[in-house]
A and B are shown apart, each in its own frame.
Chain A
Amino acid sequence: MPSAFLIDYLLWVFVSTAGVMQFAAARSGLWGVLYVRRWPRATMAASVLVVHAAAVWFFITGERNQPDTGLGLDANVQSFWFAMSAAGAVITTLVATSIINHSWGRNHGWDTQSGQAPPMSLTWLSRTTFFHAIRARISHLRRSSSERVSV
């Protein structure tokens, strides 16, 4: 059973990571990763607010200077849970924004019939969503492997 301290830490990291990811995506034009695509500047401002609010919440809701022999987390445990919580926030963001931006993401500019590989990298998420991009990649892999088999 995780301690209340650990749960608070996980929540703080989760919310902050989501905020930082929104900020970076808005600044880099990755519209397919944004919760609110139309207002990138507002998203950036809200992200800064969220990151600050999460930190304030964490520090005012309990005594955080705890030894790692007691309620606190030692450096390795902290790193592990940071990675877990941050990964959870990244995955949640990619899934949620794929659902929110689903219709918009259909016009991704890649011709499924062209036979060419879909664009690589996060840059394509400026034109589509994570799910559409993954779907395009899988359908291309399937097509190219079935062509190889038929040859």
Chain B
Amino acid sequence: MDHLDQSLVLWINGIGGRSALLDASMDVLVSDYLAPVLASLVLLGLWFSGLSDAQRYQNQLVTLTGGIAVGFANALVTIVNALMFRDRPFVNLDISLHFYAPTDSSFPANAVSVGFAIATPVFLRHRRLGGVLYLLAALWGLARVYAGVHYPSDILGGAVIGIIAALLSAGLVRLLAFIPRHVFRAFRAVYIA
């Protein structure tokens, strides 16, 4: 498994430096800001979207579920980090680093877990939009491998954690549905929901 991980990092990271356009694109994709901001904007847009109250309420539940899922994903990553530490690929392998050098554990990819935590609830309600967010999260992960800061298995681990966090969040929102119902009713009275 480790051998496969290392081979993939060496291969993907090795592509770097051959095309200025690819390097520039990856430089933007790998950023800590692009994917989370775009994904959060989708959640925000959903809050205002819908042709009826019922439709908008369902979309607002997606926004809420996504927000809670990010919290769960961060908590799960923190727990895993407390149990194990894995060095970053640039520490152990002779590769080019196309990003700043993070000092926290490589496994799991925290950023990817957040991307998948947001994409999953959106996908459960809006297949196409959720698919786009999954693609964005996956590209974010790929860019991190390309940059030499994660192994592919870190990305996989982050994705699994993100999906689990989203499913937990969806379950919690369904279980405690009376809370958002009351809170959103208060928001509707002041025309922000």
Contacts and interface: CB of A to CB of B under 8 A. Distances in A.
Interface string A98-140: 0000000000000000000000111111000010011001000
A65 B27 contact: yes
A35 to B, nearest CB: 14
Interface in B80-127: 99-102, 110, 114
Interface in B21-49: 27-28, 30-34, 36-38, 40-42, 44-49
A133 B46 CA distance: 22
Q: Chain A: interface residue count, which band? A: 35 or more
A124 B151 CA distance: 50
Interface of B is mostly: helix
5 contacts: A64-B28, A66-B100, A67-B101, A121-B191, A122-B48
Interface string B50-61: 111100100000
Interface of B: 27-28, 30-34, 36-38, 40-42, 44-53, 56, 70, 74, 99-102, 110, 114, 185, 188-193
A112 to B, nearest CB: 17
A65 B30 contact: yes
A120 B56 CA distance: 13
B31 A65 contact: yes
